[in-house]
Amino acid sequence: MKIISKAVRDLDRLLDYLKENGYDLEEGTHAVLLDHSEVLRLAIIKDGKTAAIALVHYLSPYYRAETKKLEDEDKYLEELLMIRRSGENWRIPVEDVVFIVFDEGLERFLSSYSDEYPVADGKDLVRHYLSRNPRGKEVLRVLLGRIMDELSGG
C-alpha cells in the first residue's frame, strides 16, 4: 500500500480515463460540506480487486451560487435552479486527489495522467473557494486518517 496525491483539474475526465483503460469505479461515501464543497470516496477496481481508494474534495457547478454573494434566500434558491437548468455538469478538485494505492500498475498509470479545467473559469472558482476557506486544502488529511483507521481494522 502506498499513498500518493495527484493534481487533477477535471474529476470526470479522470474517471472516464480510468474506465476507458479497464478500471471499474464504485462511488462510495459522498458529502456536501458547509462551505459548499463536496467530498467523495471512490474505489478503483481492476479485475475484481481494489487497485486503489481515491479521496476527492471538489466543487460542482452549484458552487457558482456562492460566488454571487446573494443575501436573499429566495434569490439564492433561484440561482441554484438556474444552475440546475443550465445543464452544466463538472467536478473540479480543490486539492490534490489522494490515492491509497494497492496496485503498482495503477500508480504508474496515474503518473502519466494530466488534464485542464473543464470550464474557462475553473481556476477562478477554485481561487474563490480557497480565499473564503483557507483550510480547504486540509479536508482530505482528516478523511485519509479515518480511511487508514478503517483499513487497519480500527
Examine residue 96 and state whether it is found in any structural domain, yes or no. Answer: yes
pLDDT tens digit sequence for 58-82: 999 999 999 998 889 999 999 999 9
Per the DSSP assignment, residues forming a β-bridge with 98 are: 5, 55
* 9 band by pLDDT with thresholds 50, 70 and 90: very high
**Does residue 39 lie in a domain region?**
yes
Does residue 131 lie within any of the structural domains? yes
Residue 31 CA to residue 137 CA, distance in Å, equals: 16
Q: Does the residue 97 lie in any domain? A: yes
For the segment 1-20, the average pLDDT, to the nearest whole number, is 96
Q: 132 lies in which domain range?
A: 2-149
- Classified as helix, coil or strand, 141 is helix
Q: Pairing between strand 2-6 and 38-46?
A: unpaired
Cα 46 to chain centroid distance, Å, stands at: 21
**In angstroms, what CA-CA distances link 59 with 8, 16, 90?**
12, 18, 8
Count of structural domains within the chain: 1
Q: Where are the beta strands (DSSP E) in the chain?
A: 2-6, 24-32, 38-46, 49-59, 92-93, 97-101
> What is the greatest pairwise CA distance in the chain?
51
Answer whether 0.85 is exceeded by the pTM: yes
Q: Flag whether 154 is in a domain.
A: no
> b or e along 94-123 (b: 16 or more beta carbons within 10 Å of the residue's beta carbon)?
bbbbbbbbbbeebbebbeeeeeebbbeebe
Residue type, 80: L
Task: Indicate whether 44 belongs to any domain.
Answer: yes
The predicted structure's pLDDT at residue 137: 87
